[in-house]
Amino acid sequence: MATLTRAEILARKVGNGIVTLSDGATVEVRGCTRAEARQIQDVEEGDQRDAAMISFGLVDPALTPDEVLAWFADAPNGDILKITGKILELSGMAEGQGKDATKSVPR
């Protein structure tokens, strides 16, 4: 594994990905930055928090949190789960991704 230089570390960005929805259409998403993740944590759990995360992570098409909430009324739940799952994965926050970083050092 290569050692990163200072310039390489500062040039790193969150990842991007494509999510294929149940009807075959696609959307482009990206991971959330650390600052965005903190803002998302400040939002009440449930639809409001999911809408904030999708609003930050949805690249194309871009939607506001209110537009995401309106979309929730008619969107298939599987599509929402695919989008949030990919955003979490790209953000390094998917289930199991942080476990290695928080493991105790063996004694």
So what's the pLDDT on residue 13?
86
So what's the pLDDT on residue 8?
84
Question: Rounded distance, CA 83 to CA 89, Å?
Answer: 10
So what's the pLDDT on residue 98?
54
Question: Mind listing the pLDDT tens digit of every residue in the chain (107 residues)?
Answer: 789 898 888 788 888 999 999 999 999 999 999 999 999 999 999 999 999 999 999 999 999 999 999 999 999 999 999 999 999 999 998 777 555 544 544 44
Buried-state track 35-62, b at ≥16 Cβ within 10 A, e below 16: ebbeebeeeeeeeebbbbbbbbbbeeee
So what's the pLDDT on residue 107?
45
Domains of the chain as residue ranges with CATH: 13-94 (3.30.2220.20)
